Structure 1
Amino acid sequence: MPTESRLGAGIRLAVTTFTTLPVRAGRIDRAVAGVAMTLAPAVGALLGALLGGVLLLTATLAPAPVAAVVTVGVGALLTRGLHLDGLADTVDALGSYRRGAAALEIMKKPDVGPFGVVALVVVLLLQAAVLAELAGRSRPAALAAVVAATAAGRLGVGLACRRGVPAARPDGLGALVAGTVPPVALVVGTAAVALLAVPAVAGRPWQGPLAVLAALTVAVGLLRHVVRRLGGVTGDVLGATVEIVTTLAYLGLVLSG
């Protein structure tokens, strides 16, 4: 199939995987999945631009904390809450201290355990607190911060799907995308997201890229732990990576900012 057709299918898959936009999916295979996971940061940047606009607009009508909570809610709505669900399931599995198939079975359960609930509460509170802080900054810096952090979260998916990282199950999203992202794509994606983060902290052009790199470094360590415990990555692990990297990037952007 021509490269353009694979690229188009990859774009559609990236959009339908990471947002609720009504885009009809086309061809789906590992080649297309690799394109989609490679383009995930770009989709994240577009989503971040939308969320940044929601934050800044709402902040003109309501107090900063209210604007922050609304933005977090809109973000969950635009992603169907799938990443948050993945975070809860992954933390529940890891918190059980079980390994392999036993841990994966916990992730399949529809209920959310205490570890998952705590993880959701902490992540959502941290994101809301950071967004409230950003709402008080200059509009360009606030917008850049939201765009960069949201893009960084999706770049974390590329890290989880890099070559050499196996899937935990023989089926599902993890099996489709595991090992599909080449190293060069990660290098280019990291450079692009770091560049987006440069204007996120006024007077400290180094802090934005450093925050992105630090969040991704932590994600690499966490992914290694997950692979040891579960045997590989799953769709839930990808969702958890999105939320963890996004939150850590946000924190790095407001520390001493």
Structure 2
Amino acid sequence: MEFLLVTPQVRPGVALIQLNRPKELNALNGQLVEEIRDALLLLDNDDAVRVVVITGSERAFAAGADIRQMAGKSAIDMFTDSRFATLEQIRRFRKPLIGAVSGFALGGGCELAMTCDMLVASETAQFGQPEIRLGTMPGAGGTQRLVRAVGKVRAMEMVLTGEPISAHEAHRLGLVNRVVPVGQYLEEAYRLAASIAAMSPVAARLAKESVNRAFETHLDEGLHFERKNFYLTFASEDQKEGMAAFLEKRKPEFKGR
């Protein structure tokens, strides 16, 4: 892949995807978005991978969409562009996905970060939707996921002024899980990923589905979905192993079956 570096086993059970367009601050052009999608599809089908960490560089996770690709396009050009369908495929990645964010996560970069299940940020991270300053607005989830993460009034201010928020404010508002010094953000993401990779992969996928469903439906339907997934875990070998290990006071050995 031209714009990605992929390490399938950066830690046991943990894969790393690193955006690699340094001159453009990892701006998201069509090819980069497709490469992220393709890498996730491969890792989704790799049984040795249980969790994926996606990151950029210390200077920028992703500084936004590639404006040079978009500036001259018409409404029909954008309507027929496949990048939004590709981003939807990224969102549907089944395994836990952790974003390790440092520096700029703006526009499409912020939207990509918000497709992750968890976020670890360095103290230099900035999250924002500055599209209003270019005469447009977020189009890849920025007006929807941001509201769910930080609330309506704060999201409205960010979207209508284009002003970013700091890593510490993002943590206070619930957009990121934790903030660490810049030299530690990737290792902290690995630690979080390793703790999840030690769990049952079957249970982790079902639990991820259930948590995500809470954002997409009303409570009664969400509870019904959760209960069905809970029942389904009892068809797995991992559930039998996990409960047997608890009763036998030993560490479980989950196989993902």
Give the structure-2-normalised TM-score: 0.31
Larger gyration radius, structure 1 or structure 2: 2
Q: Larger RCO: Structure 1 or Structure 2 (Cα < 8 Å, ≥ 6 residues apart)?
A: 1
Q: Which structure dedicates a bigger proportion of its chain to helix? A: 1
